[in-house]
Amino acid sequence: MPFPSQITVLVASVIVAAAILLYRAALPKPIPGIPYDEKSATRLLGDVPRALSHYKNTGEMMSFLAQKCQELNSPMIQVFMRPFGRPWVIMCDGREAQDIMSRRGREFDRGDMFRDFFAAIIPHQQSVLPTNDQWRHNRRLVADTMSVPFLNNVATYRVYENTIDLIDLWRQKLRLAPKHAFDVYKDVQYCTVDTIWAATFGSSLGISKSQADYLSNLDHIALPPDSKKTVAEIPEGEFPEGWHTLTTIVRSFEIPMNSPLGRHHHWFAIKFYPSYRRAMASRNRLIGSKIEQAWNTFGRGDAADEDKLRCAVDLVVQREVTLAKKQGRAPDRESKFLFDEMAGFLQAGFETTSSTLNWGVKYLTQYQDVQKKLRASLRATHKAAFDKGEQPGAEEIAKARDVYLEAFIDEVMRHSGILSSNIRKATEDVEVLGYRIPKGTDLWMLTNGPSFHSPAFPIDEQKRSTSSREYKGDTERWSTHEDLEVFRPERWLKKESDQGAENGGITFDARAAPLQTFGAGIRGCFGKRLAYLEQRVIYTLMVWNFEFQSIPESMGDFGANDILTHTPKYVRVMLAEAK
Ligand code: HEM
């Protein structure tokens, strides 16, 4: 029988051996051949400490990845961001990214990041699903919400009405702070929440309106004495429950973004942290009651009265009824897919669009010449309204194609890098730019580094995929741009030879530069058409009604935070009525 001291030694040895094995298992496992930071490969937390310190200093995470590509001087690198997890492969090349998303669907599917972000709150929504029959079913359920009749006959008007509420709110702010700058970041969010809420449920949440009503009762507010140094703080009224609910849920995305435990930590927080539990319960009640109302109207399966179809929930419930009939099953009133699609519609339509528009407001302020050109162009496009001293109507804006506005919209999305990366997972061992990437690896295709904001890395044509070479079209011109870091809407315009044509022969060139803000291919953004529609209406009304005057340099900070999107930290404006 062993002595007690021998048992102690034995147990200690087993513990040490287990600890060594665990340590080795947790150490990063680089993929052979793909460049990486050698120091990171010796750390349990891999690149996490440097990424977190970059985040602490800048508020940004995605620029860390672009910086790593520059440091390692390669269009493809790997980083170690999750202990025990696989490395992430990072690529900076717009042309190859376009090819992967559009043409290599068999080798790549939705990456893990969407699941990391959304699985805790919308586990049955399309964005977290792989491209399978369930995903196709979800897409069919929501298909009508991006149809031309819905966008033109319903969504346009909801966007318009809610933007007019924002204009009213800004008039109140301008009355109370006529010579001061103030921050409108949240105002833009109010407008997009009101808008997407109205498109989803048919009635506005009325955030901008309630804030404007509140301010209309104030005669004056306390203003800082030096308008050149200090931004005015405008008081806020009460907010509806829906606002707190949505913003609390959006805030929870900081957890999967920053925690090494990713979605597991997020899931725990959503289930057990009181503020998130309350927000989720409130969200479920709000959406559940709207879906119930739609079932009561459309659930019987009678031919739908088109006039009654007022919102996305109506369309989706009606679609479930017709799909069930076709498939010979009873409609699923409790469908968790339908529920999560509607929750996702709200979420997807709020944060991304408001970040984009907030960048747009910053660029309007920073680039006064662009703002002037845009206003002049809109006045020419909507000449009849301008001559009558009116605003252009909803339908008129939705139908117009103002080439400078189109150019402005795409340049804001390109230059701001609002969505700094598209992610795909390799579904088999694949080759990209001459590197082998094992099955199951996430490939991050950056939109904020070389080839988008600075010249592309030179790449041997023979290392590109067959489809990239075959279908390159005119994409080679993307690598010839020398001013990618400059904000210049004109890059999206081209002069056609016919001088007598509309717009003096100037047309919009949608492929002038790489733009992957909405991803691409079958898993590209489902809501892209609505997002463009919102931008057209909202920018038109903003610029039609207000001048965004120059603000002191110290107030124009272009710093950003990366949570779900790359979003500006401050959006300060000094407004004046447009003359
Ligand atoms: C400016 C606003 C928006 C931006 C920048 C944006 C961007 C994106 C991006 C980058 C993706 C991933 C694409 C890919 O992986 O290829 C995506 C997916 C998605 N977006 Fe958007 N989006 C916006 C607005 C909207 C709106 C308004 C909706 C709906 C109301 C929406 C719904 C979705 C959905 C459902 C997906 C998942 C598609 C799938 O997984 O198959 N988005 N979006």
Task: Write the residue with the smallest CA distance to atom 40 of ligand 1.
Answer: 127
Q: Which of 506, 578, 569 is nearest to 540 (CA)?
A: 578
Kindly state whether residues 86 and 148 are assigned to the same domain. Answer: no
Domain limit, last residue, from 57, 92, 127: 92
Kindly state whether residues 389 and 499 are assigned to the same domain. Answer: yes
Q: Is residue 447 part of a domain?
A: no
Task: Kindly give the distance from the C-alpha atom of residue 342 to the centroid of ligand 1, in angstroms, as a whole number.
Answer: 14
Q: Tell me the chain's radius of gyration from C-alpha atoms.
A: 26
Task: Write the residue with the smallest CA distance to atom 25 of ligand 1.
Answer: 527
Instruction: Report whether 238 contacts 210 (CB < 8 A).
Output: yes
Kindly state whether residues 327 and 397 are assigned to the same domain. Answer: yes
Kindly state whether residues 152 and 81 are assigned to the same domain. Answer: no
Residue of 158, 410, 526 with the most ligand 1 atoms within 8 Å of its CB, for mutation: 526
- Residue 307: what pLDDT? 63
- For 445, the enclosing helix (H) or strand (E) is strand 442-446
- Residue 445: what pLDDT? 97
Q: Is residue 385 part of a domain?
A: yes
Task: Write the residue with the smallest CA distance to atom 32 of ligand 1.
Answer: 527
Task: Kindly give the distance from the C-alpha atom of residue 344 to the centroid of ligand 1, in angstroms, as a whole number.
Answer: 10
User: Rounded to 5 degrees, what are φ and ψ at 550?
Assistant: -65, 145
> What residue spans of 87-184 are helical by DSSP H?
94-103, 112-118, 133-142, 148-150, 156-176
Kindly state whether residues 305 and 157 are assigned to the same domain. Answer: yes
- Residue 83: what pLDDT? 77
Closest ligand 1 atom number to CA of residue 145: 30
Q: Is residue 277 part of a domain?
A: yes
- Residue 41: what pLDDT? 93
Closest ligand 1 atom number to CA of residue 125: 35
Pairing of β 88-91 and β 430-432: unpaired
Q: Spell out the SS3 assignment of 410-442.
A: HHHHHHHCCCCEEEEEECCCEEECCEEECCCCE
Closest ligand 1 atom number to CA of residue 418: 5
Kindly state whether residues 177 and 297 are assigned to the same domain. Answer: yes
Q: Is residue 429 part of a domain?
A: no
Residue of 197, 352, 448 with the most ligand 1 atoms within 8 Å of its CB, for mutation: 352
Task: Kindly give the distance from the C-alpha atom of residue 105 to the centroid of ligand 1, in angstroms, as a whole number.
Answer: 18
Q: Is residue 169 part of a domain?
A: yes
- Residue 501: what pLDDT? 66
Q: Is residue 137 part of a domain?
A: no
Number of domains in the chain: 2
What's 524's domain CATH number? 1.10.630.10
Closest ligand 1 atom number to CA of residue 424: 15
Task: Write the residue with the smallest CA distance to atom 29 of ligand 1.
Answer: 527
Kindly state whether residues 148 and 234 are assigned to the same domain. Answer: yes
Closest ligand 1 atom number to CA of residue 522: 41
Task: Write the residue with the smallest CA distance to atom 2 of ligand 1.
Answer: 353
Instruction: Report whether 411 contacts 492 (CB < 8 A).
Output: yes
- Residue 534: what pLDDT? 97
Closest ligand 1 atom number to CA of residue 357: 1
Kindly state whether residues 80 and 187 are assigned to the same domain. Answer: no
> What residue spans of 299-402 are helical by DSSP H?
312-327, 336-366, 368-381, 383-388, 394-399
Task: Kindly give the distance from the C-alpha atom of residue 570 to the centroid of ligand 1, in angstroms, as a whole number.
Answer: 24
Instruction: Report whether 120 contacts 270 (CB < 8 A).
Output: yes
Closest ligand 1 atom number to CA of residue 199: 30
CA 55 to chain centre: 19
Handedness of CA 333, 335, 336, 338 (dihedral sign): negative
Task: Write the residue with the smallest CA distance to atom 43 of ligand 1.
Answer: 525
CA-CA distance, 159 to 150, in Å (whole number)? Answer: 12
Answer left, alpha or beta for residue 75, where phi above 0 means left and psi between -120 and 50 means alpha.
alpha
Tokens 């955030």 -> residue: 207
CA-CA distance, 534 to 538, in Å (whole number)? Answer: 6
pLDDT by residue, tens only, the chain of 579 residues: 556 677 787 777 778 777 777 777 778 899 999 999 999 999 988 999 999 899 888 888 889 999 999 999 999 999 998 777 899 999 999 999 999 999 999 999 998 888 888 999 999 999 999 999 999 999 999 999 999 999 999 999 999 999 999 999 999 999 999 999 999 999 999 999 999 999 999 988 999 999 999 999 999 999 998 888 899 999 999 999 999 999 999 889 888 877 878 889 999 999 999 999 999 999 999 999 999 999 998 877 665 566 666 899 999 999 999 999 999 999 999 999 999 999 999 988 788 999 999 999 999 999 999 999 999 999 999 999 999 999 999 999 999 999 999 999 999 999 999 999 999 999 999 999 999 999 999 999 999 999 999 999 999 999 999 999 998 888 778 777 778 999 999 999 998 766 556 677 889 999 899 999 999 999 999 999 999 999 999 999 999 999 999 999 989 889 998 878 899 999 999 999 999
Task: Write the residue with the smallest CA distance to atom 37 of ligand 1.
Answer: 127
Pairing of β 182-183 and β 108-110: unpaired
Ligand 1 pocket (Cβ < 6 Å) reads 101, 110, 126-127, 344-345, 348-349, 352-353, 356, 418-419, 422, 517-520, 523-527, 530-531
Q: Is residue 9 part of a domain?
A: yes
* Domain assignment of residue 42, given as a range: 1-92
Contact residues for 166 (Cβ-Cβ < 8 A; gap 6+): 187, 188, 190, 191, 194, 208, 538, 541, 542
Task: Write the residue with the smallest CA distance to atom 6 of ligand 1.
Answer: 518
Task: Kindly give the distance from the C-alpha atom of residue 98 to the centroid of ligand 1, in angstroms, as a whole number.
Answer: 16
Kindly state whether residues 75 and 174 are assigned to the same domain. Answer: no
Q: Is residue 465 part of a domain?
A: no
Kindly state whether residues 199 and 81 are assigned to the same domain. Answer: no
92 carries a ligand binding annotation: no
